[in-house]
Each structure stands twice: as structure tokens, then as C-alpha cells.
Structure 1
Amino acid sequence: MKILSPRVLRALERFNATYPWDHNAHYHRWILRQLPRRFPRALDIGSGSGDLARLLAGRAADVSGIDADPVITARARQLTPATLPVTFTVADAAADVPDGSYDVITCVATLHHLPFAQALTRFRSRLAPGGTLVIVGLAHADTPVDHLLGLVAIPANAATGWLKNKGRPSPRPVSMTAPTRSADMTFAEIVRETEEILPGARLRRRLFWRYTLVWRRP
């Protein structure tokens, strides 16, 4: 079901390039609210330039960030003060999730790049008893509710970009930060598979083409 014409989509891309903002970072503070005030070890999967990993370091004794992109990982290292307990590693999250036990595992806008069930199973195996897994992911729009949220997100996206940039165009327009790769799984499919692997997980549809998943290991 096509909701927006190519012309409208191009206009949205131009607007987001002029007034850019990070749709994933929008959820970072929400992620922190799901976590304990202090915890020993954290793992951020798909850590990108390290923004979330650095926030986690404010609560954790040790944070590991992994990302498959060596360029963005090098950038994360450059941006991270040596005083923070954060280590960034180039690794494929589909196969190279570090061994060990983590009290917190986060994964933002990365899971749709991975084999879903295999990734969740691997995350579960790395989570310490009592630990918390928080995922912000992308789902394929399928139901009327999905499409309605997508429509609502369009003016909200424009307003957020305008406010975050204080109404001033970016001096150097950048690419749109909305999803750049379509997700294959619908939200219903994600819920169904998650319930089999992570019983009791809380999943919610969210604005800005995202859903959230929170699971605490017994």
C-alpha cells in the first residue's frame, strides 16, 4: 500500500537534509529510563558513532560497543574521551557478539539487518540474570495502524527537525536520517517470534518508523 507519492517523498528528503536530526538518538533518553541507575557491564550493538555507548558509560563500569563499519567505529573512538570506560570494536553483530555476560544490552536500528531469531537468541545468551535488553527497531508497515503512525510521523518529523535546528537550515545539507533500508518483518511477525524467544518481552509501536522491545532476563 503506497501512502506517499515519490514527489512527496523527495520533498521530505529535501526537508530532512535541510533540517537534519537523528531519529535514533531521539530514543536514547527513553532507553536510559528503562535501565537501572548503575550496572557493571553494558553492550551496545550497532554502536555507530558511539552516542548511546557514551551515555551508558555514565551508569556502567564498563561499556563495549560493536559495529560492522570500521569508519564509523574509528569516528566513535575519536569522539570518546579516554576517561570514559568505553571500548569500540569492529565486529559483525550477526556472528561476532562478544563472549561474556552483560547486565545491559542495547541495539538501535540494527536488528533488521540481522537474522532476527538468531540475533535475539544470541542476545539472550549474553544477558546476565536480571539483566535488561532494550531494542529500538524497524518494522515493515503492514496494518492500518502502521500506516496511520507513518502519516502522523510526517508532520511530527518536520516539526522536530525544525525545532532541533531552531528554524535554521543546516549549512551543509546531509542525507535524511529516516530509515535507509526497508525492514522485511511486520510488527506482528516480530511480536510472534519474540514471544517464542523472549517470553514476557514488552513491544510497542513508536513514532518515527520505529518499535521498541524491552526484556528483563529472570
Structure 2
Amino acid sequence: MDIRRVEHPVVRRAAEGLHNFNSRHPWSHNDHFHGWILANLPAHRGTAIDIGCGQGELVAQLATRFAQVRGTDLDAGMRAEAVQRCAGLANVTIADTQLTELDGPVDLITMIAVLHHLDAEQALIDIKRLLNPGGRFMAVGLAAPASIRDTAWDLASAVTNPLIGLIKHPRPARGGPVPPPFPVRDPRLSFDELHAVVRDIMPGAEMRRRLAFRHTIAWTKPNLEA
């Protein structure tokens, strides 16, 4: 059950109240996980690629830790903002290169709220191809709620969302809700369905449910392929 789509009047009023509160204390659910990525970087840091780099904030942070960072995004507006943000960083390039067209090998590939826009199986195969042995894939994603456990995590996210917002943005923001600056798409695969795909292509990958209606995937490519 997707609690975000329940039409019961009481639930709808509660959801509207939470939405209004969250609008006054906004925070980025995606940027929240940058710290998790930066705390779990691979030992070798030659080249990193951020797929769907958006406005380039993660790219700029990775640039201080890798010899070369490549950001890709299909949205021209996002690329322009990323280029502006990373101006002066000589080791950064921003392009619209498709995942299937990228060349490697590289030491890190990151995705934040991107995998559900793609064919997950083919994307993971391409990522596996691009990574160096010992290279790491780190993703923050969304999944469609399909089980009681999924719904429980959604409820926990809904309850904690305003608390986190109050901590991160204690002073109420002026104006109404601000729409996301990037393309939005509902995920098709559930957590369990995606987990099965990840497990098949990237054995040993760690996939965990998180608050903020997100999950994370972390996988290090083995040094010796079977």
C-alpha cells in the first residue's frame, strides 16, 4: 500500500498538514545522503562518475577527493547549473553522455534518484562493465511500496520527515512549496523486486531501506572476477 496515495479523508488531511509543515521546513532528501557516499569512497580515487548529476553539488564534493570527476545529465538546464557550480574545477567535466556510451574503467559510480528512471537490469550491467576491480557503485534510490514492510518504512519516513526538516531548516521558509528542479518519475519496481535484480548482477551488494522514502545500494567490484 502506498500511503502517499491513500484517499481517506482523515489520512488526506494529515498528509496535507505534513506537506504544509514540510514546505515551511524544506530539506533535500537526496542531498541528505551525500555524507553517506563521501564516507564510503573506494581506496583508489582516480576517476568518479556521477550519473544524473543534477545541479552538480555531489560532483563538486567528489572533485576534492578524485583526480577526475565526470558528471552526466540528460537535462540541459541541470547541466548548465552543474557547469556553473563546478566552474574553476579543472578536474570536472559535465556532459549529456548516456550510460551505455560511457567508457571506463573508473573507480566510483554514483546515482542519486536515477536508477528508477532507467532499465535497472541494463543499467547495472553497464555499471559493472565500467568499474575497475575494487571500484565502487553507490546509489540512493526510490522503490514502489508493495509490502507491509515497505509501508512501515514509508510511515516511518512520513513521521520523521518533519523532525529532520525542523533540525535542518529551523526557520520557516517564506512562500509556498517549491517544485523539484529535476524530472520526477514514480518508481515501478518494489524494493524486493529491485533487490533481486541487484543480487543477480552484483552478488554481495548491500541494499538497505532508509528513511526519507529512500534506499541505498553499495557494491564493490571484486578484484578477481569469477
TM beyond 0.5? yes
Structure-2 change in CA distance of 1:170 and 1:76 (3 Å): farther
Structure 2's unaligned 5+ residue stretches are none
Paired with 2:96 and 2:169, the residues of 1 have a C-alpha distance of: 32
Paired with 2:104 and 2:93, the residues of 1 have a C-alpha distance of: 14
Q: Which moved more, 1:164-173 or 1:195-204?
A: 164-173
Structure 1's unaligned 5+ residue stretches are none
From 83, 90, 97, the counterpart of 2:89: 83
Letter in structure 1 aligned against 2:73:
D
Residue 182 of structure 1 and its aligned partner are, at CA, apart by 1.8
Spell out the pairing of 1:107-122 with structure 2 (5 A cutoff): 107-122=111-126
Residue 26 of structure 1 and its aligned partner are, at CA, apart by 0.5
Query: Aligned-pair RMSD on alpha carbons?
Result: 2.0
Residue 101 of structure 1 and its aligned partner are, at CA, apart by 1.0
Q: Report the number of matched residues.
A: 215
Q: Does 1:31 align with 2:37?
A: yes
Paired with 2:215 and 2:205, the residues of 1 have a C-alpha distance of: 13
Q: Does 1:106 align with 2:99?
A: no
Q: Does 1:68 align with 2:74?
A: yes
Residue of structure 2 equivalent to 1:12: 18
Q: Is the 8 A contact 2:2 2:145 kept in 1?
A: no
Paired with 2:166 and 2:43, the residues of 1 have a C-alpha distance of: 32
* CA offset digits 1:56-99 (Å, max 9, x no partner): 11110000000111001101111113135211112344x44x21
Residue 172 of structure 1 and its aligned partner are, at CA, apart by 6.3
TM-score by length of 1: 0.90
Q: Is the 8 A contact 2:42 2:134 kept in 1?
A: no
Q: Which moved more, 1:68-77 or 1:150-159?
A: 150-159
- Give % identity: 38
Structure-2 change in CA distance of 1:11 and 1:175 (3 Å): farther
Does the residue aligned with 1:39 lie in a helix, a strand or coil? coil
TM-score by length of 2: 0.87
Residue of structure 1 equivalent to 2:155: 151
